[in-house]
Structure formats: structure tokens, C-alpha cells
Amino acid sequence: MNAEARKKALRTLFAPVADKLGYKFHPSEEDVDFLLEAEVSLEKRYGSPYCPCQALSKERAENMKIVCPCIPFHREHYDAMKRCWCGLFVHKDVTDPSKLKQIPPDKFKGPGKAG
């Protein structure tokens, strides 16, 4: 499968998962395409569509927490930001993702304590 076809397939696979979690794809086609392209490269290299914005470790169990869409593993943190770490997904009610702030994981203390 070529990269374009795989990007399309990932999009189709991810959409219902994100939807169930209350998220949608970022409204910018360009951003979505860029991130999916990176995931396709990572998948080719490492076997899974890992997050393009989080570093892989040597621990397989840890790495499984950053296979896209990684929202279930970071639910409280992402819900507080209304976006996933990369911004590939945003909460369904978000119309302008540029207003959303990234909260570094070490600054996120838990629900209701963002920042």
C-alpha cells in the first residue's frame, strides 16, 4: 500500500474511534495530512502508527501508549487541553484550535487542575 492509500486508510480507521471519544480531526486539512504522513513513515519503520510528536522509548508497553489515536491513555490530560498532544484531534466543539493551549505533561496535575 502506498503512503497516500495508507493515510486514507488511517483516516478511515481513526475517525470512528475519535468520534466515540468525543474528538474530531483538526479542521486544517494541511495539518491532518502532515501528521498522518509522519505516522505512515513511523509505521513503515517501526510497525505501528506511532505518535509523530512523542518520543519512542525502549519499553514496548510504554510505546503502546503512543500508538495513534493515543487518547484513551492520556484522556484526562487531553480533555483538559481539548486536543491531543499533536493536535491531530480536537474536541468536537472546538472551532478554532489555535486558541487551545498545550499543557506539558509535567504541568498537568489532573482533572480540574490544568496548568
Binding site for ligand SF4 (CB under 6 A): 35, 51, 53, 66, 68-71, 84-86, 88-89
Nearer to ligand SF4, 66 or 80 (CB): 66
Q: What whole-number distance in Å separates Cα of residue 81 and Cα of residue 45?
A: 30
Q: What whole-number distance in Å separates Cα of residue 14 and Cα of residue 103?
A: 23
Nearer to ligand SF4, 71 or 80 (CB): 71
Residue 103: CB minimum distance to ligand SF4, A: 13
Nearer to ligand SF4, 40 or 69 (CB): 69
- Collect all residues with Cβ–Cβ distance below 8 Å to 66 and sequence separation of at least 6: 50, 51, 54, 56, 73
